[in-house]
Every structure is written in C-alpha cells, then in structure tokens.
Structure 1
Amino acid sequence: MRLRSCAGFRGEGEDKPAGENGSKGFCTMTRYVFVTGGVASSLGKGITAASLGLLLKARGLRVAIMKFDPYINVDPSTMSPYQHGEVFVTVDGGETDLDLGHYERFIDVALTRRSSVTAGRIYQEVIDNERRGVYGGATVQVIPHVTNAIKDHVYGLAKQSEADVLIVEIGGTVGDIESLPFLEAIRQVRHDVGRNRVFYVHVTLVPYLKAAGELKTKPTQHSVKELRSIGIQPNAIVCRTEQPLPRDVREKIALFSDIETEAVIENLDVATPYEVPLRLRTEGLDRIVVERFGLSLPPADLSAWEEVVDRVARLSGAVRVGIVGEFVALHDAYLSLVEALRHAAIAHGVALEIDWVDARELKRVSPDARLGRLDALVLPGTWDDREEDGKALASRYARRAGIPFLALGYGFPVALREVLGVWGSERPAGEGVLPMSASLPGYGWVGARPVELAPRGMLSEIYGKERIEERMRHREGVPFHWAEELGRRGGLPEAWSEGREYLLGFRFEGHPWFVAVQFYPEFASRPTRPHPLFLAFIGAAVKARARTTLR
C-alpha cells in the first residue's frame, strides 16, 4: 500500500548546497518519526527504530530510515572497532554505523550512505559552503546554518526514497552537548511540516533496584524534562526494563511526561532482539504512531517474523563456531557476522555457540589444543594485516583437521598465503614479500560489486547462479594469475572479478568444507532469509558435529 508518491515534487531551493535553502525542500506528504535516547547509552534505540520500521512496513507503508551520529568523524571508517563496533558497508559503498545493520536486517531493505550522517560530515559541508561564499557573507551559526544542513539531509532522503514514513534515530543521549544541534533541528521539523506529521519516540531506562525491590521512574522523568526543556514533547516513551511495568508506574511516567498512559511502552529485556518487534506490537507502539498520523491501515502481518522467533524457542542441539580475530574482546566488532551465523543456525534448528579466539593467543599456545573442540572456524575480515600469523595458524589447523572453515574479506588473502606457504614466519627464506596483492584504484573497492563464480563450482551450487553481487571493503586485490600457483597447492578458484582480473574466492580440494572469499556476505543476511553461504557453512558444521558425536 502506498499513500502517494513524491515523484516530481520540487521543493523550494532544490539542488542548493546544505543549509542554504532554509530547509523548505521537504516532500509535503512524508511523515517523520524521530527516535531519541535518554538516561544511558546502549538502551536499544537502534533496535527500537528498526523494530518500528518493520511494524510500519508490515502495515503496508513505504519506510525509509537514517541515523545521525554526533561524533566529529566524517564517518566511522577510520575508527577502531573498540571505539564503535563494526563498520557496516552499504551497497553504494557507505562506511556507516553498525545500527544500519539492524535497520537492514529488521526492515529488509538495502540502505545507502544517505542513511548515515555524522556531525563531522555536517560541519564539513557547512564550512566548505562558507569557504565557497555560498552564504553570501553572512555570519555562519549553528542556527540556522548547521540545523538547516541537518534538515536538508532529512528532507533529501525523504524525497529520494519517496517514503511514506521516514524514521530518524539521533545517536547519543539527551543532554550531551554534541547532540544539541540535531535535537534543535528535529524540533524545527515539527514547525516545518506540521505537528500531525511528526512523532517523537524517547527511549529511556526504568531501573529495578533489587535492594529496594522497586522500579524507579526518576531517571526517565529527568530525561523527559531535559528533552522538553529544548522544545521537544515526546509522543511515546519506550521504557527499557528488566521487570514488567505495573499500571501505577506507567501512570506515573505518563503524568510527569504529559503523555497518554498507553503511550508508555514497556520494552522488557528479551532472550533475542528478534522478539522486540513482537513485544512492541503487543504494546501498541505502531498503532499509536499510525493513529497520530491519521492513517487507517491493516494490522501488521509478522507471520514470517513470528516463525523465526518460534524456531529460536525450539532449537535442539548446538554447533560451536570459533571466530579468530584481533578485536574479539568487543563482540560488536563482528556484529553482522554473528547475526549471519545465527540466522543460519536458526534455519538449521540448532543453537549457535561462539568461541572468541584472540589471534595472538594462537602464537602462544598449540592451535590443536585451543581449537580442538570447535565444530567450525571463521576467519573474519579486517582492514589490515595485523596478527596475520595467528590467523594463518587457524587456517592451517582447519585445513589439516578437516573442520569447516570460512574466511571473509581480509581473511581471504591470509588463507591464500597460508595455503601457498608464504605467510609471516613460514615465508621461505630469501624470497622476501611475494607480490601477492596489488593496490586497487582510488580508495579500493567499497560497496556491492559483481562477482563471477566458477561454472559447476561449489559456490555457484551454493548461490544457485554463476553471477552475484556482494559487498566488499578492501584496498588490495590478488591478481588472478595466482590461481595457477594456488591450483598446484590444492586450491581451486571459485570466484573472480569481471574479466578475471582479480581472484575473489577459492576452496581447498579434498577438504570437506574450506572456503575463502574476499567479500562480506554477512551484510546481506536476514533473519527471515539467511545468506546461502552461511547456510551451507553452518550445515557443514552440523555434519561435522554429528561425525564427532558418533566417534
């Protein structure tokens, strides 16, 4: 169901640079939902925004979604994973916040770089405009120039996506200095488009004090007070809590926040984030939003989602998968990978147990002793060659032990060098660094690119076709001529770039399941539609587990 189309709409000041046009170039029919957070970080704003997007899409609306991050980095591409978790790559090459992964997995859309905007990018645009004289000699200020630039991104995505509803998450916590321009900008949106086309969701914490045996609403009250002090009145408050919210607690929050009691939404801790949309539907969040917008829509059909949650409740047995990397102390550094493995495990009806293996550890202890209890092994991607020796030892162990192995991204050249025997300390004396990699043009390959698969090969059988598109993020490629040497060592080329310029994947002949690819299929996996490569990998792990059990 579509409410209308923005196609052909030309807003005032269209095509002018950020912050110049007074931000009046909005599509007049799009509704806007803004998601803010208070009390503390890591309360699940991203999951809440993604869940609401899923619910509204299931009601028949066309949904777009984006996130503003208040840090000064232009994007997270140069940030350590320990700072901000994984870098999620969009199809058009955007290097973005990990919350975009939640959005894609829940709403089942392929987002672009337009859905991730940082304060650094906003300030860069405004300063560039000032240097070019765009503002005509005016004193450049946070209001209106920075806030207009922020709104230009909001209205630009609404117009480009032709969305019925645009959901916008504001990163950080209400009260943070760096997020104030974003909060002021979304306050102004209500003035621009009318209050009946804007809905504010505030995500807060209602802690349970065990010593007192009570839920405490004061943190939420103060957070809402802070939000209202800058002119934003929330329409709904999503309360993260480990205990159910009694009616009197909801009424107290509603009274002090000046909202309806039914708009106080309980968001209990759950075993899996995939339960959250179902919980929010039960609480009526999507109904409240739809009614606020004056829409008459059918209820959300989440039958496919319910099937996933039901499968989770009926898992039998488990597979133990090792993830070998240098950032394993922060699991969010591999968030999309873990979710893709979990999607496949759920589809196979087994629980996923992850053993986080620090690559440095494998240089100190015997890989056989450390990895011997695993059913399968993953070598995830990274952006450089740190800890290559430990990763190569993991590849060698998997190859010799015959356990399922999957290398992704930068894990591909590591596995390739291991098979060829030219890695780190194993490199033949006197040969130096072999020219295995060649620099790619520009900043490398980032985003979705075409991949050709070997006819009648293992990967073409898994994918069901011989030409695919997968997301990449690397600066160097392995020239295809190395396939000849790989073949002499037992490797079979399985994937390459157009024209066979670069080798992009191989398997090891005679091994039950040993695959290495220089792309990131995890970004395309969905709970209701697991990626075929991970389905095959977990399937091989299940078989390996069965063989071990029989022995």
Structure 2
Amino acid sequence: MVIKYIFVTGGVTSSLGKGIISASLGMLLKSRGYKITIQKLDPYFNVDPGTLNPYEHGECFVTQDGAETDLDLGHYERFLDQPTTKDNNVTSGLIYKTVIDNERKGYYLGKTVQVIPHITNEIKRRIKMLGSSNNYDIIITEIGGTVGDIECLPYIESVRQLKWELGELNSLVIHLTLLPYISVTGEIKTKPTQHSVRNLMENGIQADILVCRTEKHISKNIRNKLALFCNVKPEHVIESINTKVIYDIPYLLHLQNFDKSVLDHLNLSTFTSPNLHKWKIFLKKYKNPKYEIKIALVGKYVSLHDSYKSITEALIHAGTENEIYVNIKWIYSEKIKENNIEEYFNEISGILIAPGFGIRGIEGKILATKYAREKKIPFLGICLGMQIAIIEFARNVLEIRNAESNETNPYTSYPVISLMKKQKNITKKGGTMRLGNWKCSLIKGSKIFSIYGGKKEIIERHRHRYEFNNEYLENFSNAGMKTVGINPDTGLVEAIELDNHIFFLGVQFHPEYKSTVSNPHPLFNYFVQISKNYKSFVYHR
C-alpha cells in the first residue's frame, strides 16, 4: 500500500490546537485499523527544545530513544497509545544544521546552497524518512507556527512540492483557523479565515479541509460561505468548538465525519467504523467522578500549566481510572515559607514535587517535602522532586544541615546530590543529559515493587544530569530512607521510599511520559488511590 500523507497547517493565530487536532485525527484513523504516526515540524532555530525555558515553550517531552522534543509529541502518544521517536520531531535548527554540515563535507559538489532546493529537500527527506523504515499507512505531519510567518515559508513550500510529487490521492492538507466571535454584534467573522486560506493559496497550496476553532457553533450559512470563498466542500468545513475537555475533541470531530472525509479524499476504505468504545467509557468516567481529591503540584513554572503537561494529564488518566476528580492546586515553590506553609497545604490529599532545574524555588520545595514527611501526607517526587526529598531528609533527619546539590552549590561540602561522572566533562548543554529509556531494578518487598505488579525490572524515561551520591547510601538506609530502585548497569539510585509513611516515594525517572488514556501509569494510579484513602481517613473520620 502506498503511504498517504496528511499535512496540518495553521492560520490567523498561533496556539489554536494543531497538535490536538492532529492527535485526534490520528486516534480516529487508528481506531479504524490504520497504522498511523504523527510528526511535528517546528520552525524555530533551536536544534531541539531541550534548552528552551518552559515559560517560552512549555514542557520538553522526552521520547523513549532519548530525544528532547516538543510537548505535542506527548499529545500524540497519549491519544494514540504508542511511542514516538526522535524522527517524530524536527526543528528548523536541525534542518539547517544538517544542510550546513553536508555543505562542509562537500556533499553538494560546490553548488550554491539555497533554501530551494537544499533546505526544502531536507525537509521532504525528514517527512518521508518516517515511512521508509516503518510500515505506516498514513503519516500526519503538523507544521508548527502560522501560515504567513517568514520562518514557516520553507515548510509550506516543501508541502507544495510534496503535494505535486505524491499525487492528489496520496496527500491532503488540513488548515486550522480561527473564527472570531464579536460579542457586541453577536457575529462569527469569517474574513480572517478567508485571508488565511488565500495566503496559503498564494504559496501554491489549496486546503482540502478546513477545521475552524470557534467559541460558538457554526451555522449552515457560515459553512456555505466558507466553502464558497475558500474553495472547499461545505461538508469539509469542520467545527472545532472550545471545550474544557480535550479528550472530547476526537468524538466531536467524528460526529462531523471528519475522519471519513479524510479517508474519502485519500481513496481509503471507510467500511470499518472507528472503535471508540473504550474512549467513550473514559469520557463517561472522567465527567462523572464519584470522588474528589486535591493534589498540590509544587513547582517553579506553575504560571504556565503546559510546563507540566504530562504530569497533569497523567493525574487525569489515573483519576479517571479510579473515578476520582483530581483537583490540582498549583503552588509556586518560591512563595512557600515556614510561616505560611499551613495555608498552602490545608486540605491537601497529596503532594507532588515537580521536576525542574536551577536554584530558584528550591527551598520552598524542601519545606513542602518536609511538611509531607512529617504530616504523613502522600508524597511523590519526580526527578528533581526525588533529589529534593533526599536533601530534606539529609538536613532534617540525618542532621547534615548544609546538605545540598552540586547543581545549586558546586562547592558544597555535603553533596548528597552530585553530578554524574559521565557529565563532569560535558560543556555543551543541548541533548547531553541522561535521556530516554533506562532500566531500573526494583527491590522485592518495596511499595514500588508491588505498584509495578511484582516486576523485577522496569524501563522508564529519564531527563537529568545529577544523581543521588552513593557515598551517603548507608546513612540514608539506616535512618529509614530505603533505596528501592537501582539502575543495574550504573548503580545509580532510581527510586527511594520512606519507612513508616503512608506513601513517600521519589523517582529519578519521569513516569508521566508513559501515561496514556488507555494505560494510566501505575505510579500515578497508586498515588491517586492512596491520596483518596488519606482524604477519607483524615477529613471524614
């Protein structure tokens, strides 16, 4: 079977949800039996998002093969319930770097290197590369940015060339736009979408399907008007109305025959209906919880919730699985002080210390961890969160008052968290951390061992540069903080637990990356369960 290609572009404004539309379409097509993957092409010149500030970009998602990627890849994995790889995310930085490196190696035989054909050829190569080594039926490619942006032009030109090369039945362009609602007049305005489609046409591309982001339902008249002025069929004008639940979107699109229209255009069979049974059960449970708990998410980037997107979605997955509404209380760690800590954690059922880098907000996280330990509140520390738990325990239980991490104080005399040996001579920051899948051997009889169903060895994704200092291992173990997960190849500590606590677990890896709608992660599942039990015991006795 010839591989079919779908391109998703955006217009009018950024952040309309191309990633969610792409993920939703991918889920619908997969549920019909097609083998799908989704790729994100980003127009910024960073080689990858690994060194970007979360305030600017949101979460940096990590794939199982160790690539630092755009957060939309998290959506792809959560909706499709299948892993992505480094080939699923390409930036302009990576494209241009590859072309320049090739020029330095003499690959172009002295030719003048230009955007066309060299940059566009590399973009097309990256798009096709996914299909060359995998048996995919359909590849969905999301083009980051907005049509009309200067940095998007090479991608748009590449799509134009590919449309011609692949043929009409083997490619399709979906254009996501905004239909602004003017509340004063009560009108939905179509002109911005018309201009966006015209801009796309000026670059040689005709949109095949329009997906219109809107806060009001689109009337038949508006559909017909958009169809007339944008050269699409009325049934190919798809409404994407604002919704509080992103997991509603695939079903809402399906009700408008979005997936059928795509398959019809690509000359693919629509005889098999999408199997949405499990998805509908998930939505029903999510919208009708039997219980509610409040989880404190303590971090330094909480003003932009997308900075912790995978964590919040993992809590949603676990909460829905247990018919529990997880009410997240966002707490900026820098504001936590000894004299106000009670007000921040009043009626909290669980405390999660989020990942992060740098010294800002560290002391607030340590105070929150101390509060969870002493008050016996369920606690989960992820990556830096585990390291914070170790520092707090060293200071307040082992009485090593000046215990610190080499990250925040390279000259500390008590580095309970230290730089990994393989990291000590690294000067380049991008893509050099401990990344992707690593093994972890679990200790039999520990809580984490039972949470993972008695597995002796697990594989989880990582993104860190610092580690527990094994010189202090015996001191911690003797005082009640047990090492319950160890990397079998390096001896690095992967997980710690506290004795005599309802649930106090720190993990160096990132379990949130593997949680999906169909398969909530067991650590989040247990954390939500134990937090619900804690609430019932403390607040209702």
TM-score normalised by the shorter chain: which range applies? over 0.9
1:378 aligns with 2:368: no
Moved more, 368-377 or 302-311: 368-377
Q: SS in structure 2 opposite 1:117?
A: strand
2:522 paired residue number: 532
Counterpart contact for 1:480–1:496, Cα < 8 Å:
no
Structure 2 segments unaligned to the other structure (5+ residues): 405-410, 424-431
Secondary structure, aligned partner of 2:485:
strand
1:29-77: CA deviation from partner (whole Å, max 9, x where unpaired): 1100000001111111000000000011111111011000000111111
Q: Which residue of 2 aligns with 1:315?
A: 289
Contact 1:146 1:181 in 2 (8 A): yes
Aligned mates of 1:425, 1:177 — CA distance in 2: 55
> Aligned runs of 1:246-261 on 2, under 5 Å?
246-261=219-234
Specify every segment of 5 or more residues in structure 1 that has no aligned partner in the other structure, as ranges.
Answer: 5-28
CA contact (8 A) 2:216 2:241 kept: yes
Offset, 1:136: 0.7
**Structure 2 residue identity aligned to 1:374:** I
Give the drift of 1:504.
Answer: 1.1
Distance in 1, matches of 2:20 and 2:339, equals: 39
Contact 1:480 1:500 in 2 (8 A): no
| 1:308-347 aligned within 5 A | 308-347=282-321
1:444, distance to aligned residue in structure 2 (A): 3.3
1:457 maps to 2:446: yes
In the alignment, structure 1 residue 389 sits paired with structure 2 residue 366: no
What is aligned with 1:493? 483
Instruction: Please say if residues 19 and 142 of structure 2, whose CA atoms lie closer than 8 Å, have aligned partners that are also in contact.
Output: yes
CA distance in 2, matches of 1:93, 1:244: 42
Does residue 483 (structure 1) correspond to residue 464 (structure 2)? The answer is no
Q: Distance in 2 between matches of 1:321 and 1:190?
A: 48
Bigger mean CA offset, 221-230 vs 483-492: 483-492
1:160-219 superposed Cα distances (whole Å, 9 cap, x missing partner): 222110000000011100000001001111111111100100001112111101111111
Q: Does 1:444 align with 2:433?
A: yes
- What TM-score does the superposition give when structure 2 sets the normalisation length? 0.94
Q: How far apart are the structure 1 equivalents of 2:422 and 2:330?
A: 34
- For residues 275 and 301 of structure 1, the distance between their equivalents in structure 2, rounded to whole angstroms, comes to 15
Higher mean displacement: 162-171 or 343-352? 343-352
One-letter code aligned to 2:280: E
Distance 1:315 1:144, change over 3 A: same
Structure 2 vs 1, CA of residues 363 and 425 (structure 1 numbering), >3 Å: closer, same or farther? farther
Q: Which moved more, 1:384-393 or 1:444-453?
A: 384-393
Range with greater deviation from structure 2 (122-131 or 383-392): 383-392
**SS in structure 1 of the partner of residue 55 of structure 2:** helix
The Cα shift of 1:431 comes to 7.6
Residue matched to 1:432: 413
Q: Does 1:541 align with 2:514?
A: no
Alignment correspondent of 1:55: 28
**2:429 maps to what in 1?**
none
Residue from 364, 378, 385 that aligns with 1:404? 378
Say which SS state the counterpart of residue 504 (structure 1) adopts.
strand
| Closer, same or farther: CA 364–508 of 1 in aligned 2, 3 Å | closer
- Structure 1 window deviating more from structure 2 (423-432 vs 307-316): it is 423-432
Report percent identity of matched pairs: 39
Superposed, which structure 2 residues align to 1:280-319 within 5 Å? Answer: 280-297=253-270, 298-319=272-293
1:515 and 2:505 equivalent?
yes
Instruction: State the one-letter code of the partner of 1:263.
Output: H
> Retained in 2: the 8 A contact 1:76–1:87?
yes
Q: Is 2:196 the partner of 1:215?
A: no
**CA distance in 1: counterparts of 2:339 and 2:99, whole angstroms:** 53
Distance 1:51 1:428, change over 3 A: closer
**Structure 1 residue 434, shift from structure 2 partner:** 2.7
Give the alignment partner of residue 210 of structure 2, picking from 237, 249, 252.
Answer: 237
Question: Does the 8 A contact of 1:76 with 1:95 survive in 2?
Answer: yes
1:199 matched residue in structure 2: 172
| C-alpha separation in 2, matches of 1:530 and 1:541 | 16
Per-residue deviation, 1:500? 6.4
Q: Which of 337, 342, 358 pairs up with 1:368?
A: 342
**What's the CA shift for 1:476?**
2.0
1:490 Cα deviation (Å)? 1.5
Task: Determine the C-alpha separation between the residues in 2 that align with 1:66 and 1:493.
Answer: 39
Query: Once the 2 structures are TM-superposed, how far is the Cα of residue 385 of structure 1 from its aligned partner?
Result: 4.3
Spell out the pairing of 1:410-421 with structure 2 (5 A cutoff): 410-421=384-395
The code of the aligned residue for 2:368 comes to A
- Which AA in structure 1 matches 2:157? E
Task: Give 1:249 deviation, angstroms.
Answer: 0.4
- 1:353 deviates by 1.0
Matches for 1:171-210 after TM superposition, within 5 Å: 171-210=144-183
Letter in structure 1 aligned against 2:203: I
The aligned counterpart of 2:134 is: 161
Return the alpha-carbon distance in structure 2 between the equivalents of residues 503 and 524 of structure 1. Answer: 20
The CA deviation at 1:269 is 1.2
Q: How many residues align?
A: 524
